[in-house]
Structure 1
Amino acid sequence: MADFELIQFDLDGTLIDSVPQLAEAINDMLATLGHAGQPVEAVRCWVGNGADMLVQRALTAAQGEAPDADLHRRARALFDEAYAGHADAALVFYPGVLDTLERLRTAGKRLALVTNKPYRFVPGILAAGGLTDHFELALGGDSLAEKKPSAAPLLHICERLDVSPARSLMVGDSENDVLAARAAGMAVAALSYGYNYGRPIADSSPDWVLDDFAGLAAILKI
């Protein structure tokens, strides 16, 4: 097994199942715009490319065509306002997440968070989950000029924490996480239970496919 010093984690679909909160915010937004709500399972297939794309996919489904720029801007503002009231409520962590993160920290591993979620929501979610002190650095989808599947966020974390990509492992649940890791020259473990647009994550050929978050312990030798 490889000896990794730094572990970079995705958030939605990896650590937490955020779809219920996202769906509530999306449906609040749609209701304000006069559209019918969308089912939770539809929202599940739209997550992973950041809030702008989530809003675009929801509007396209609701009105049968892609929104123009003005509507998209208005809808995004409505979504952000709605999600602020839902983001850190009734958090659902996947099995094994909290225990494994604590084991990693106790074992001396360095942890970082790299999500495509807008950063404004990240501190509240981490605080609500008791994880504020677990991560040395957290990036949102708008923290840099590029987000996953770009390698930029992953490499930025490595640079800031002075760890080479070869000594860092990316842990995510979607093709974007795998592509970002590959572009960064980084190994990647992918969870099979997350949000990958309805496709098996194994199709993206990560180094490891895990059905259970606790399986990281064997990869990381803790």
Structure 2
Amino acid sequence: MGFPFQAVIFDMDGVIVDTEAFYQDVLRRFVTWKGIDVCDAELRGLIGGAQQMFDKTLVEWYERAGEGRLSSAEAKRRYRLWRRSVPCDYRSLMFPGVREAISGLRERNVRVALASSSPRSNIREVLAACGLAHAFEVVMSGAELAESKPNPAIYLHTLKLLGLPAEACCCIEDSVPGITAGKRAGLTVVARRETRFGFVQDAADVIVDRVDDVLRPEFGELLTHR
């Protein structure tokens, strides 16, 4: 039995690289530095969500810190300056099996794309660090759309660029916003199992432990019994 889809669309954070825990730590350090009282639930609510939502949150945090109502551009500028002091070794955070999954899919003549809510500059940085700069036929940033995950627009746009219908593709996600976006776009959703952040992944069609599990013969059988 051949691979059941013509294309696989990967999320990035939480699927390609294990950055969610790192970013949670970074945000905790930031709000502590600013003296803002932010609970864990508020921080976790940002995982997998749209860049637009994070930008609005930044504006609110600066206001809560007593710095006035900044524009989104100014809030992002100040945050980026601070983030320079907290670099990330993305290559060391790449999940096991990612490279194998991509090469294995290509060997099966399956097209691969990436759809991430992160800004394109960050996507380029991550992919370059991981040696995946040219791995994906299509790379889509939700930050360039009016809305991103859980809105399905990012996946609908990726499908348009691939020239394929939703039923011919699956996506690999981890977070609730990502899974929701994939389902709303009509895609079969594969979730990389994640237990650290309280995600409820039940809406996914299949849950796997590693992304290269999609290459296993049992993958097709799991889909037929979902």
Q: TM-score normalized by structure 1?
A: 0.78
State the Cα distance separating 1:109 from its structure 2 match. 1.2
State the Cα distance separating 1:20 from its structure 2 match. 5.4
For 1:145 and 1:42, the matched residues in 2 are separated by: 23
Equivalence for 1:173:
174
Equivalence for 1:134:
135
For 2:129 and 2:38, the matched residues in 1 are separated by: 27
For 2:195 and 2:114, the matched residues in 1 are separated by: 16
- Structure 1 residue identity aligned to 2:47: V
Cα deviation code 1:125-166 (max 9, x no counterpart): 101101111101111221222212122111111111211111
CA RMSD between the two structures: 3.6
Equivalence for 2:199:
199
The answer (yes or no) to whether the contact 2:11–2:114 under 8 Å persists in 1 is: yes
State the Cα distance separating 1:28 from its structure 2 match. 6.6
State the Cα distance separating 1:168 from its structure 2 match. 0.8
For 1:40 and 1:131, the matched residues in 2 are separated by: 32
Q: How does 1:4-83 map to 2 (within 5 A)?
A: 4-19=5-20, 21-23=22-24, 25-26=26-27, 29-30=30-31, 34-35=34-35, 43=43, 46-54=46-54, 69-70=69-70, 74-83=74-83
Where do 5+ consecutive residues of structure 1 fail to align?
A: none
For 2:69 and 2:195, the matched residues in 1 are separated by: 30
For 2:71 and 2:167, the matched residues in 1 are separated by: 43
Count the aligned residue pairs.
Answer: 216
For 2:41 and 2:94, the matched residues in 1 are separated by: 18
Equivalence for 1:214:
212
Cα deviation code 1:16-39 (max 9, x no counterpart): 11135535653675477x337989
The answer (yes or no) to whether the contact 2:62–2:70 under 8 Å persists in 1 is: no
State the Cα distance separating 1:117 from its structure 2 match. 1.0
State the Cα distance separating 1:54 from its structure 2 match. 3.9
Where do 5+ consecutive residues of structure 2 fail to align?
A: 222-226
For 2:130 and 2:91, the matched residues in 1 are separated by: 10
Q: TM-score normalized by structure 2?
A: 0.76
Residue 150 of structure 2 corresponds to residue 157 of structure 1: no
For 1:135 and 1:172, the matched residues in 2 are separated by: 16
For 2:22 and 2:145, the matched residues in 1 are separated by: 25
The answer (yes or no) to whether the contact 2:4–2:220 under 8 Å persists in 1 is: yes
